[in-house]
A and B are shown apart, each in its own frame.
Chain A
Amino acid sequence: MSVLFPFHGGLKTVRHKIESNQGSILAGPLPRQLTVPLRQHIGAIAKPLVQAGDRVLKGQMIGQADGYISAAVHAPSSGMVTAVESRPVPHPSGLPDACVIIDTDGEERWIERQAVDYRRLHSSEVRGALRNAGVVGLGGAVFPSAVKLNPGGHDKPLDTLILNGAECEPWITCDDRLMRERAAGIVAGLHVMVHLLEPREVLIGIEDDKPDAAAAMTAACAGTGYQVRVVPTRYPSGSVKQLVHLLTGKEIPFDGLPADIGVQCFNVATAHAVHRAIDFGEPVLSRVVTVTGQVAQPGNVEVLLGTPFAALVELCGGYRDGVERLIMGGPMMGFALHDDGVPVTKATNCILAAGAEALPPEQPPMPCIRCGACVEVCPANLLPQQLYWHARAKEFDKAQDYHLFSCIECGCCSTVCPSHIPLVQFYRYAKNEIWAQEKEKQKAELARQRHQARLERLEREQKEREAKLRQKTPPRPVPAAKALEVDQLPIEAAVARARPERGAAPVDEPQPSVAVTADGAERDG
């Protein structure tokens, strides 16, 4: 057995995996209408390439990656674009975002697909292909994979490539099923990643509550040198920082990236998406989603992006009684949705229709008794009770002294708090307040800079005018009069301002005085 490096804290949570991991991955429905958000990734929103009335083919790019950190978006099925407009999307804010609405024609007509011979092409071309295929982290973070697959971006050589199959959140089993059923595809995608990054070792981390998945992956990795590491079931071992520590003993700096310590980490589903994109030329059009909780037939479904949650729940037999919250993601870090009309996106790994089984009765918060239960479970090794104290008192600088931004919002502290204080909510609040303050500061700084630049411009223009004036009247060497004239300018300006309607202010040079007038007015305002 290989050595593991346990991280501090963490929790043994309820599992609830058995509900959804028994059956194989089902094919999703083909809804009449797909709502495809143009922002399904971290970074700049994709630029729409279609408009209402356009016919699209399955796999056709409908949104183009805009900038380096961005990803393309594709039509998940063939049909007609009926609108490009703001629609509700699954986001904690509940705010709508730009979406392409496609009325499907049921024909599933594909674009021409072409495999990418990644061993022949230059690595930048391979990454470009991944970017154009819309490959992003499918573990939930949806960071554009092409960016992480660029070894040139970091001065440190890559020691370890980690594939994350931990799936530590309760209830979620989509990666479990994917590893069991499509291990070969995952390993094929891994080959592409290894080709691009050239790591010294490849480790695949899987929690020990998924023995079948671990066995399937071990079999698929035979002869490749990739090593499957079974890790103890302990939330949040699937968090990148914790998994990297667990497998390598290295800590990702709290203000840095995995690449800073020679590590890169991808989700197993991302590797599978890479495989489909490179070996088959298929962009990311669907993903495996766990539908579980209070639904009649929980399970995993391969769903077209843009499919409304409601259609997916219907496929799984509809809701059972007692659904109290609809959660996207797991119960520890997922967020509750207002409405099941929102579409599945690349970030949707699980839909949990949470009933009493998943949600213990809410209890009123009590004062913090400083018991330190939160300290014991914090995987970031923070002092949650101090963060809470300062966040509550709005002492945001103190909260930052206690490393507020190292908090990964895993929820362990809130879960164990005997006083039932919504700790994570306080940290989110503090972070948002600090970001808002930063923005204010930046705005003020920008305004100051603009004001400064304007003053300088005015001065420069004035000097230029003086120079011009001097050039125009070279034979009149009367410096005293000249000085007088300049001094008079503000006076004339004031006169002009006071009586603008007369329009006959006795000004020698109307242009500069108008400029000064406008400035004066602006400054007064």
Chain B
Amino acid sequence: MRFKTATSPHILRETGVGQVMRRVLYAMAPGIAALAWFFGWGVLVNLTLATVVALVAETLMLAARGKPLALHLGDCSAVVTAWLLAAALPSLAPWWLTALGVAFAIVVAKHLYGGLGYNPFNPAMVGYVVLLISFPREMSTWPIPHGVGQAHVLGLPETLEIVFGGAGRLVADGLTGATPLDVLRTQLGLGLTVTEIRNSPVFGIVSGSGWEWAALGFLAGGLWLVYIRAADWRIPAGMLGGLAAIATVFYLVDPQRYAPPWFHVWSGAAIFGAFFIATDPVTASTTPRGRLIYGAGIGVLVYVIRAFGGYPDGVAFAVLLMNIAAPTIDLYTQPRVFGARGR
């Protein structure tokens, strides 16, 4: 009797890239729900719009590159990119901003750099940075979170009107305000102390009101990802540890000029970035020690940008800078091979 042959191992786990990516999407759910609660329908409109644009761009690029569509669309990587970017955009961003960012992320940052597995930079963060540099005003126009001030809650029709019609009404109605990190930054520049600044209503229990609940949501999802080993704990641990460490040093030097470490860790995109952005395996370091260093580098850079740079938050830039460094980190952090002498 004759049989077909194949090489060992003959057993394979049935987990696939698609499953890994879908788990990331599930893990984002609590954070996104919190964002939607505090910033309204716009968050979900962004998400939907980004998903559609990403799938269209992905399909076109796969077709152009002659890749099997079903197999690669099924891996859900484009949807993950779309969600990561959408969650980072202002919730009432005009439609073209979202579409442009997502299209750039998929077409240029992902496919033109070689496609899934080959892109050196985190596509979502490339898209974000392109928008941040090109459209700084639109990118910093965040609505005031639910529960702060007098802002009334926008319904879905109003949201759609703003997103697809224009942001004029948004600003005119006084629906937008500075983000907590913005406030901190500008008022520190005016010579106020951290204690004085923190009396502002935009701040909540730990960091920005509203924002801090979204951070909690992303933390919950992120910890789940780590628990099921879909993300390596070393990257978020390294990033939040690095951020906390440098923030602690400056906080101890002058607590009135530098915000406390817990504020930094819980503010802006730190938690979201640590568990969802920095953990993108394609663009991160791959060695166990390297991942700690890679994460710590992002954490330190985020702090440097926030405290001394030109932007209120710096996760996107920090991630891209460390993306460049990842191959070098890998080279110098190879684990000691079993049975290697010395070293």
Contact = CB atoms under 8 A, between A and B. Distances in A.
Interface string B255-293: 000000000000000000000000001101011100100
A232 interface: no
A406 B337 contact: yes
B281 A333 contact: no
A369 B286 contact: no
Interface in A391-436: 402-403, 406, 409-412, 414-420, 422, 424-425, 428
Contacts of B116: 366-367, 369
Given A360-B14, A369-B17, A369-B282, A340 B3 contact: yes
B4 A336 contact: yes
Contacts of B77: 369
Contacts of A424: 7-9
A370 B284 contact: yes
A332 B339 contact: no
Contact of B286 (A385, A414, A416): A385
Contacts of B330: 383, 386
A251 B4 CA distance: 38
A42 B283 CA distance: 44
A419 B17 contact: yes
Contact of B335 (A331, A337, A381): A381
Interface string B308-343: 000000000000000000000010001111111100
A310 B339 contact: no
A73 interface: no
A252 B339 contact: yes
B48 to A, nearest CB: 26
Contacts of B286: 370, 372, 375, 383, 385-386
A118 interface: no
A422 B17 contact: no
A310 B11 contact: no
A382 interface: yes
Interface in B1-49: 1-17, 19-20
Contact of B20 (A92, A254, A336, A418): A418
Contacts, number: 180
A92 B8 CA distance: 10
Contacts of A52: none
Given A241-B339, A336-B3, A406-B337, A372 B14 contact: no
B262 to A, nearest CB: 30
B71 interface: yes
B9 A367 contact: no
A363 B16 contact: yes
Given A383-B334, A428-B7, A371 B16 contact: no
Interface in A302-350: 310, 319, 323-327, 329, 331-340
A463 B203 CA distance: 101
A371 B20 CA distance: 9
Interface size class of B (residues with CB under 8 A): 35 or more
A332 B15 contact: no
B338 A14 contact: no
A253 interface: yes
B232 interface: yes
B164 interface: no
B336 A381 contact: yes
A422 B4 CA distance: 17
Contacts of B72: 366
Nearest to A354: B10
A319 B1 contact: yes
B138 interface: no
A327 B10 contact: yes
Contacts of B340: 253-254, 403, 406
Interface residues of A, number: 76
Contact of A334 (B2, B10, B68, B339): B10
A170 B10 CA distance: 11
A358 interface: yes
A331 B7 contact: no
A381 B10 contact: no
B17 A358 contact: no
Contacts of A254: 337-340
Contacts of B337: 254, 380-382, 403, 406
B117 A370 contact: yes
B182 interface: no
Nearest to A353: B3
A251 B338 contact: yes
Given A253-B341, A370-B117, A383-B334, A337 B12 contact: no
Given A367-B118, A424-B7, A418 B16 contact: yes
Interface in B121-135: none
A256 B339 CA distance: 8
A134 interface: no
B284 A338 contact: no
A49 interface: no
Nearest to A250: B339
B15 to A, nearest CB: 5
Contacts of A329: 8
B115 interface: yes
B282 A370 contact: yes
B185 to A, nearest CB: 35
A371 B71 CA distance: 19
A-B pairs with lowest CB-CB distance, top 9: A411-B9, A367-B117, A254-B339, A336-B5, A331-B10, A371-B281, A326-B3, A380-B338, A403-B337
Interface of A: 7-8, 13-14, 92, 94, 170, 241, 245, 251-256, 310, 319, 323-327, 329, 331-340, 354, 358-364, 366-373, 375-376, 379-383, 385-386, 402-403, 406, 409-412, 414-420, 422, 424-425, 428
Given A360-B14, A364-B71, 5 more contacts: A362-B12, A366-B17, A366-B71, A376-B229, A415-B12
22 contacts: A323-B3, A325-B10, A331-B10, A332-B11, A333-B8, A339-B1, A354-B10, A358-B11, A367-B115, A367-B117, A369-B281, A371-B20, A372-B281, A372-B288, A372-B291, A381-B338, A403-B337, A406-B337, A409-B8, A412-B9, A416-B13, A418-B16
